[in-house]
Amino acid sequence: MTGEDTARKGIILAGGQNTRLYPVTLAVSKQLLPVYDKPMIYYPLSVLMLAGIREICVITTPRDRAQFENTLGDGSQWGVRLSYLTQPSPDGLAQAYLLAEEFLAGSPSALVLGDNLFFGQGLQQMLAAADARDPGGTVFGYRAADPRRYGVLDFDAQGRARGIVEKPEHPPSDYAVTGLYFLDGSAPGRARQIRPSARGELEITDLLQLYLDDGLLTVETLGRGHAWFDVGTPSALLDAGNFVRTLEARQGLQIGCLEEIAHARGWIDADRLRAQARIFAHNDYGAYLEGLLR
């Protein structure tokens, strides 16, 4: 990026009614439920931080906004700047660009869904490559056992993406579009061009199709060395937690550790990292942060 005015900004969409996780989400937002040892929202936030994004807006419901503010604060403990917007009603993923238009102020963006977890070798390099593409956009495809639950990529005979179909009964491929979208500064204007679908939502697939039709959308596929979790059901929540627990126990490394990313990038110094470690002094997370100082 060329300067502060063109730096990519981040959006975490953490709204919705979360009815697939009832009754547990009657009391707390889905994106604040624990995925093993951290709130779910730490994982998508870590993806934006790995991409080098420091100005981030969290979009959530009027009911849940205070919970997110209490959990995340202003982001200064991680060297980032967090702000908050409310989504009055869940009217589709593309609505996020309309709600965040003033926040973006013409900047390119990376939108990540608050219930998505990404992990894999080379992920940071893929994020950097996506960040460098401007104009245009980048999305990530992932082979899914049941792609009918997602927006599905349609490829031509040469393997180039030519379309994206939302929750098709007969998927044109096995590749789902994950909940991570790098788009240029025209995203809010393009979002205003689309109309609600049959289910009354502004579909992200319709927005992405506009980029695809203009030859401005790059599709990166995440292969065997990557994991993607869309944590929207009780079983998916358990699977994601077990995945994190297994890797952390076997490797002794944290997944989604915001302090580690911030310190590695030079966004916080050793004193700030030490202060964060003291907060968690009585558990393994604090011990891990202390280990980073050594």
Mean pLDDT of the chain: 93
What's the number of CA atoms in the CB half-sphere (13 Å) around residue 285?
Answer: 17
Alpha carbon distances (Å) from 143 to 154, 180, 229 = 13, 15, 12
| 4 pLDDT above the threshold of 60 | no
Q: Percent of the chain beyond pLDDT 70?
A: 98
Residue 151's nearest CA partner among 190, 186, 180, 187 is: 180
Check if the beta carbon of residue 139 is closer than 8 Å to that of residue 178: yes
The amino acid at residue 115 is D
Check if the beta carbon of residue 275 is closer than 8 Å to that of residue 147: no
Tens-place pLDDT, residues 152-172: 999 988 888 889 988 899 999
Q: Percent of the chain beyond pLDDT 90?
A: 80
pTM of the model: 0.94
Average pLDDT over residues 64-77: 96
Alpha carbon distances (Å) from 141 to 5, 181, 205 = 30, 11, 13
Is residue 2 very low, low, confident or very high in pLDDT (cuts 50, 70, 90)? Answer: very low
The reported pLDDT for the residue numbered 156 is: 87
The reported pLDDT for the residue numbered 219 is: 93
The amino acid at residue 113 is L
Average pLDDT over residues 246-270: 96
